[in-house]
Amino acid sequence: MSDSPAAPAAFGTAVEIASAVKAGERSALGVLEEHLGRIGAHESSVHAFNAVIEDEARSRAMEIDDAIASGAEVGALAGVPVAIKDNMCTRGVPTTCSSRILDGWKPPYDATVVTRLREAGAIVVGKTNLDEFAMGSSTENSAFGPTHNPWDLTRVPGGSSGGSAAAVAAGFSPISLGSDTGGSIRQPASLCGVVGVKPTYGAVSRYGLIAFGSSLDQIGPFTTDVHDAAVIMDTIGGHDPLDSTSATDGHGSLESVLSDGVDGLRVGLITEMTGGAIDGIAPDVLARVRAAAEALAAAGATVGEVSVPSSVYGLSAYYMVAPAEASSNLARFDGVRYGLRVDGSNTAAMHTATRTEGFGDEVKRRIMLGTYALSAGYRDAYYGSAQKVRTLIIEDFDRAYADFDVLLSPASPTTAFEMGAKTADPLAMYLNDVCTIPSNLSGQPAMSVPFGTGDDGLPIGVQVLAPLMGEPVMFRVAAALEAAQRLEDGESR
Q: What backbone phi and psi angles, to 5 degrees, belong to 102?
A: -100, 15
Q: Is 322 in the site for ligand GLN (CB under 6 A)?
A: yes
Q: Is 178 in the site for ligand GLN (CB under 6 A)?
A: no
Q: How far is the CB of 174 from ligand GLN (least distance, A)?
A: 23
Is residue 184 part of the annotated active site? The answer reads: yes
Is residue 127 part of the annotated active site? The answer reads: no
Q: Which residues contact 414 (CB under 8 A, 6 or more apart)?
A: 280, 281, 282, 285, 454
Q: Is 184 in the site for ligand GLN (CB under 6 A)?
A: yes
Of these, 134, 269, 296, 393, which contacts ligand GLN (CB under 6 A)? 134
Q: Is 165 in the site for ligand GLN (CB under 6 A)?
A: no
> What is the spatial distance between Cα 234 and Cα 236, in angstroms, rounded to a whole number?
6
> What is the spatial distance between Cα 158 and Cα 128, in angstroms, rounded to a whole number?
13
Q: What is the DSSP letter of 347?
A: H
Q: Of 71-79, 130-138, 255-263, 481-489, which part binds ligand GLN (CB under 6 A)? A: 130-138
Residue type, 38: R
Q: Is 439 in the site for ligand GLN (CB under 6 A)?
A: no
Q: Of 23-31, 132-140, 148-156, 296-304, which part binds ligand GLN (CB under 6 A)? A: 132-140
Q: Is 136 in the site for ligand GLN (CB under 6 A)?
A: yes
For ligand GLN, the closer of residues 26 and 155 by Cβ is 155
Instruction: Give which of 490, 485, 482 is closest to 261, Cα–Cα.
Output: 482
Q: Is 137 in the site for ligand GLN (CB under 6 A)?
A: yes
> What is the spatial distance between Cα 312 and Cα 317, in angstroms, rounded to a whole number?
10
Q: What backbone phi and psi angles, to 5 degrees, belong to 196?
A: -140, 130
Q: Is 160 in the site for ligand GLN (CB under 6 A)?
A: yes
Q: Is 472 in the site for ligand GLN (CB under 6 A)?
A: no
Number of residues that bind ligand GLN (CB under 6 A): 13
Query: What radius of gyration do the chain's Cα atoms show?
Result: 21
Q: Which residues contact 209 (CB under 8 A, 6 or more apart)?
A: 87, 88, 89, 111, 113, 179, 217, 219
> What is the spatial distance between Cα 32 and Cα 11, in angstroms, rounded to a whole number?
10
Is residue 160 part of the annotated active site? The answer reads: yes
State the catalytic residue, choosing from 99, 138, 142, 160. Answer: 160
Hey, which residues between 200 and 239 contact ligand GLN (CB under 6 A)? 212
State the catalytic residue, choosing from 22, 85, 127, 422. Answer: 85
Q: Is 135 in the site for ligand GLN (CB under 6 A)?
A: yes
What residues are labeled active site?
85, 160, 184
Residues making contact with ligand GLN (CB under 6 A): 134-137, 160, 180-184, 212, 322, 433
